[in-house]
Structure 1
Amino acid sequence: MPNKPTKYGIKINMACDARNSYMLNGIVDLAKHRRPQVVPGKLGEYYTMTLTEPYLDSNRTITVDNWFTSLSLVKELYKRNTYLIGTSRRKGYVPKIMVDKKFTRPVDSSIFLFHENVSMVSFKPKKDKIVLLLSSKHNSSAIGKRNKPEAIHFYNKTKGGVDVLDMMCARYNCNRKTRRWPLYLFYAMLNIAVINCFILSKLQQNCQTKFRRLFMHTLARELVQPWAEKRLQQAGMKLSASHLIRSCFSLTSNEEPQRQQAGKGKKRCSICEWKTASQTRTYCSYCVRAVCPRHYSVICNKCEDDDEDIK
């Protein structure tokens, strides 16, 4: 897919809010033999109607690209009290004069066609380029700034919902190299869920930072901390892992969850080699592992607290 951050992989057809790129709905594009049984050439129309079904009959406007746009789709949405605007390809219902580059036309010129509740705009921004637009929202030949039709301005203003979401996913993502497509979809869902959460936090004015990277860092800490505290209660955890968890989440000795008590009776030293390990009744107060006199030292509580403050 040209002009996309990721030009390969699994395609997801999405419907996003044009103002903030919040993802509203999505459908995974399956292989050809697994796609729904639709009339050839109507697949874009099927996806558009399915994605926007919850928002029809509400006087809204849908902006799509040329893969989805068709005259039948515009008329079908208009019956459901929904407007559509999008670029169009050279199809059978398009007059030749609207797309013929050899036809003598000045640059920044526009041609308008109106049929029932649908309007077609042919705009020539460059000498060898023509932009074709279908719209059921605009029913006049109004010209805006830079000699561009109002329909072109509206399309440029509302076309970036999905593209901005793709850009945000590509900038900070949790993707890892994998050949398992369920896991690949899970990574995509996780990226989109974090972005939606960030957008909702800003709309509700509950977000403490305007930077998404800091928001993701805070969100990750809040999700991981309960599991990290639960792991501290497990016996046999390495001392280095325990110190790392407490330093990451700023857990002091009072805030740290109560650990399991050490076992009773003699056990082999967990640090010595198995053949030379001696029996001992001493257990580490952090990892609750048996240690012999060769692998432990006595330290008072005051020195232990001073050592934690230095760290």
Structure 2
Amino acid sequence: MKSKPTPWGVKVWCSADPDTGYLLDFDVYTGKSQTGMKGGLGHHVMTVGKRFLEKGHHFYHDNFFTSIQLADELLDLKTRCCGTIRINRKGWPKELTFNKKTKKADRLKVGEVKMMQRGNMVATVWQDKRTIALLSTNEQPVVGSALRQTGKGRKEQKAIPQPILTYNKNMGGVDNFDAHRAYYPVGRPCRKWWRYLLWFFVQTSLINAFIIYKRTNQPAPKSSRQQDPL
């Protein structure tokens, strides 16, 4: 993948906890014919999230995975989702399609929002520094607010669509896990591909163990009746 910082390697689909980066499940990619998925490679969300379907969980993913078909199938399995989406995906509303061919008069201005809803599915387009398109089944089509940095070095309250606020808050579990891997690499370059997988397994075990240790190695909470000595 030429556009990636590390263009060569073994692709591994991963799902991780958004708060800690704990790796929940993974699937090594071995080719397009691996599963014969009708929905394309984006449906690997179903593979790495299989253990969490039909339990009311929420999935967050980027525009490589997000599609109308995937969102519908997840809803049928009692699972909500939220993710950025490519505006050329099948089923995306034409009213929310903005590109270079769109006339200037019809383009969104900075800060402008457009939303459309179909049942529990909400399509959102928001013009920030660039146009952001997002599909969600776990939020209402409303506009919230958040503090954002201004050019003068101060923070101001800005209007932001609620689906995007939710996405920004919960997206990034796999990135968090990858950051841990980058801080403490395991292994060395070699010509045997299976060793890279072995080192990935070892490193994953170390990172997950460290995360569990941090979460559990905490002082016991004090009773509400217990008082500190004077």
Q: TM-score range by the shorter chain?
A: 0.7 to 0.9
1-structure distance, mates of 2:50, 2:195: 28
User: Over residues 253-274 of structure 1, what are the superposed CA-to-partner deviations in whole Å (9 max), with x where a residue is unaligned?
Assistant: xxxxxxxxxxxxxxxxxxxxxx
User: Over residues 181-216 of structure 1, what are the superposed CA-to-partner deviations in whole Å (9 max), with x where a residue is unaligned?
Assistant: 111100111111110000011111179xxxxxxxxx
Q: TM-score by structure 1 length?
A: 0.61
RMSD: 1.9
2-structure distance, mates of 1:23, 1:37: 25
Query: What's the offset of the Cα at 1:133?
Result: 0.4
Query: What's the offset of the Cα at 1:2?
Result: 7.3
Query: What's the offset of the Cα at 1:97?
Result: 3.3
1-structure distance, mates of 2:45, 2:53: 11
Q: Are the aligned partners of 1:87 and 1:131 in contact in 2 as well (CA < 8 Å)? A: yes
Cα 1:162–1:172 change in 2 (3 A) is: same
| Equivalence for 1:68 | 65
| Equivalence for 1:44 | 42
Alignment of 1:10-25 (within 5 A): 10-25=10-25
| Equivalence for 2:51 | 54
For 1:115, which of 113, 118, 140 is the aligned residue?
118
| Equivalence for 1:138 | 139
| Equivalence for 1:87 | 84
Q: TM-score by structure 2 length?
A: 0.81
Percent of matched pairs sharing the same residue = 29
| Equivalence for 2:127 | 124
| Equivalence for 2:109 | 106
2-structure distance, mates of 1:68, 1:152: 17
- Corresponding residue pairs, total: 202
Instruction: Please state which structure has a larger fraction of its residues in strand.
Output: 2
Query: What's the offset of the Cα at 1:94?
Result: 1.7
Query: What's the offset of the Cα at 1:3?
Result: 7.6
2-structure distance, mates of 1:56, 1:78: 10
Cα 1:74–1:24 change in 2 (3 A) is: same
Q: Are the aligned partners of 1:63 and 1:86 in contact in 2 as well (CA < 8 Å)? A: yes
Q: Are the aligned partners of 1:5 and 1:166 in contact in 2 as well (CA < 8 Å)? A: no
For 2:205, which of 193, 199, 202 is the aligned residue?
193
Q: Secondary structure at the match of 1:148?
A: strand
Query: What's the offset of the Cα at 1:4?
Result: 5.4
Q: Are the aligned partners of 1:77 and 1:84 in contact in 2 as well (CA < 8 Å)? A: yes
Cα 1:22–1:4 change in 2 (3 A) is: farther
2-structure distance, mates of 1:7, 1:175: 18
| Equivalence for 2:74 | 77
| Equivalence for 1:35 | 34
Point out 4+ residue stretches in structure 1 off by more than 6 angstroms: none
For 1:150, which of 156, 159, 162 is the aligned residue?
162
Instruction: Please state which structure has a larger fraction of its residues in helix.
Output: 1
User: Over residues 6-43 of structure 1, what are the superposed CA-to-partner deviations in whole Å (9 max), with x where a residue is unaligned?
Assistant: 332001000100110000000011134x522222x522
Q: Secondary structure at the match of 1:189?
A: helix
2-structure distance, mates of 1:51, 1:36: 13
Q: Are the aligned partners of 1:22 and 1:196 in contact in 2 as well (CA < 8 Å)? A: yes
| Equivalence for 1:97 | 95
